[in-house]
Amino acid sequence: MIRLAIIGDIGSGKSYVAKQFGYPVFNADAEVVKLYRKNRKCYYKLKKALPNYITSFPVKKIKLSKAIMANRANLKKIIKIVHPEVRNRMNNFIKKNRNKKFVILDIPLLIENKLNKKKDILIFVDAKKKEINKRLKKRHNISVKILKKFQLPVELKKKKANFIIKNNFKSNSIKKNVKIVLKKILLNA
């Protein structure tokens, strides 16, 4: 199995590009949302760590954002609870899909959290700042600003990448670029 890790700036279209490969995708953001909505164990841990903010189930992201804005130390508490759960889910996903030719890892802080392995193929999604900003304005949430602080500089991620896919937000061009990257990977495998 070859692990393809999709990296790039927030709002660059990483999740969309990840889906275009046509192989199983582990989407860390989606897993976090599931944790907040469905995992009572996670809720109780967060409630214990942040009793002034987490008061009801399911956990609301806005409450977590408020906790972080009130005190940055709260972010460490959240990470300590949420990241091990996401890591477990990622490991289960990889085990479940070990017979697939490829698995796609869509994890925003992959490099920052040292989740990538040496053999992983890093694919950087490159999009114009103007397009990214237009997309981020639609999101209207505090967590984007918080996440930005924890990401490595975009240029550093780009240098670490094995491949770069330009995202002009036109699906035909992205699909074509994904096919080209897959061919190159298979030739070198």
Between 151 and 163, the more confident residue is: 163
78 in the same domain as 20: no
188 in the same domain as 124: yes
155 in the same domain as 109: yes
Pairing of strands 102-106, 163-166: unpaired
Q: Are 10 and 110 in contact (CB under 8 A)?
A: no
Polymer length of the chain:
189
119 in the same domain as 60: no
Give the ranges where 50-153 is alpha helix by DSSP (H): 61-70, 73-96, 129-139, 142-150
15 in the same domain as 38: no
Final residue belonging to a domain, choices 43, 63, 96 = 96
pLDDT, tens digit, 9 for 90 and up, residues 173-184? 888 999 999 999
119 in the same domain as 68: no
Measured distance CA(15)–CA(6) in Å, rounded: 8
90 in the same domain as 143: no
> Which of 69-78, 87-96, 153-162 ranks highest by mean pLDDT?
87-96
116 in the same domain as 81: no
What pLDDT does 165 receive? Answer: 93
Count of domains observed in the chain: 2
pLDDT, tens digit, 9 for 90 and up, residues 62-76? 898 889 888 888 988
Average pLDDT, integer, range 78-91: 93
Final residue belonging to a domain, choices 96, 119, 145 = 96
Q: Which of 104-108, 128-132, 146-150, 158-162 has the lowest mean pLDDT?
A: 146-150
CATH of the domain at 141: 3.40.50.300
Measured distance CA(24)–CA(106) in Å, rounded: 10
183 in the same domain as 144: yes
Which range of residues forms the domain containing residue 163?
Answer: 1-24+99-189
Question: Does residue 20 surpass a pLDDT of 60?
Answer: yes
186 in the same domain as 130: yes
131 in the same domain as 113: yes
138 in the same domain as 123: yes
Give the confidence band of 141 by pLDDT, cuts at 50, 70, 90: low
